[in-house]
Amino acid sequence: MIVDTHTHVVAGDANRYPLRPMPLDVGEWFREAPVTAEQLLAEMDTAGVDRGVLVQAYSAYGSDNAYVVDAARAHARRCVGVCIVDVDADAPSTLRALAAEGVGGVRLFAIGNPTLPRLDATEAMPVLETAVELGLQVIVTILPSQLAELRRVLDRFPDVPITLDHCGFPNLLGGPPFPEARPLFELAEFSNLHLKVSSHLLETAELVGDPRDLVDRLVAAFGADRLMWGSDFPQTHDRPYPALVELGRHACSRLPGDEQRAFLGDNALRLWPQLR
């Protein structure tokens, strides 16, 4: 079973689900290449992908989770939703309400987010504690300069699985063994840290060589049981969705069969058992 752990969806009905663009330097992919949940599922069928994690797109909707919640609920047999909440006094109650609507995770988006300027902010701790209480997966989105903040969160919550989007956008310049990404590899000591190896990251690795070299290096540091593939579609849309899936298959193709299955789906099913 293949699970795409990083997808985004954009509603076709902009009146019911209005865009709320945030000031991030990612382009207006949500206007250039929007994909509804139904269109995403059709793409997944074409590419042989069984399940998908619908990740709230901060750049498109901010913390308005209405569409990702409705989409995940409408397609609950194949999808699970991940929300974003504003980090304020109401965050725990907001997260409880979203969990009651079926979301399976919360995304702590700490890039250009005025409510969460630092991942380890005191105000963020109630969100993490509430996620743990509710059994929600915790996903964090940060830049390389914020890895020290992630280290402090991992120290505080050593028994909580925490997933890092895009592997934290590591610096891959120079190619393997990727010395500039040392701050990421130093986090391998935290057994509760999982990594999303996204198409965005694999395409960056293509610029300096073979993406398999990066996956091999990540496996050597973290182990295959803590890595998960994700397409980042349609924010990443420079090639068709099936080609993004093929990039993920290629990137893990040197691994033994059981480790390929772990990378492409089994690890995600362990974190989101509802997708089984």
CA distance 72 to 102: 8
Please answer whether residues 106 and 133 qualify as being in contact, where contact means their C-beta atoms are separated by less than 8 angstroms. Answer: no
The per-residue pLDDT string of the chain (276 residues; one tens digit each, 9 = 90 and over) reads 999 999 999 999 999 999 999 999 999 999 999 999 999 999 999 999 999 999 999 999 999 999 999 999 999 999 999 999 999 999 999 999 999 999 999 999 999 999 999 999 999 999 999 999 999 999 999 999 999 999 999 999 999 999 999 999 999 999 999 999 999 999 999 999 999 999 999 999 999 999 999 999 999 999 999 999 999 999 999 999 999 999 999 999 999 999 999 999 999 999 999 999
Residue at token pair 């999303």 = 196
User: Quick one: pLDDT at residue 22?
Assistant: 95
Q: What stretches of 135-233 show up as alpha helix (H) in DSSP?
A: 147-156, 182-185, 199-206, 211-222
CATH ID of 3-275, from 3.20.20.140, 3.40.50.280, 3.30.160.60, 3.40.640.10: 3.20.20.140
CB within 8 A of 143, min separation 6: which ones? Answer: 111, 168, 169
Please answer whether residues 230 and 4 qualify as being in contact, where contact means their C-beta atoms are separated by less than 8 angstroms. Answer: yes
Q: Name the token pair of 24.
A: 């991030």
- The SS3 assignment for 74 reads helix
Rg (CA), the chain: 17
CA distance 37 to 9: 6
CB atoms within 10 A of CB 197: 25
The pLDDT tens digits of the residues spanning 72-112 come to: 999 999 999 999 999 999 999 999 999 999 999 999 999 99
> Is the whole-model pTM more than 0.85?
yes
Domain spans of the chain, in order of start: 3-275
Q: Name the token pair of 146.
A: 């914020």
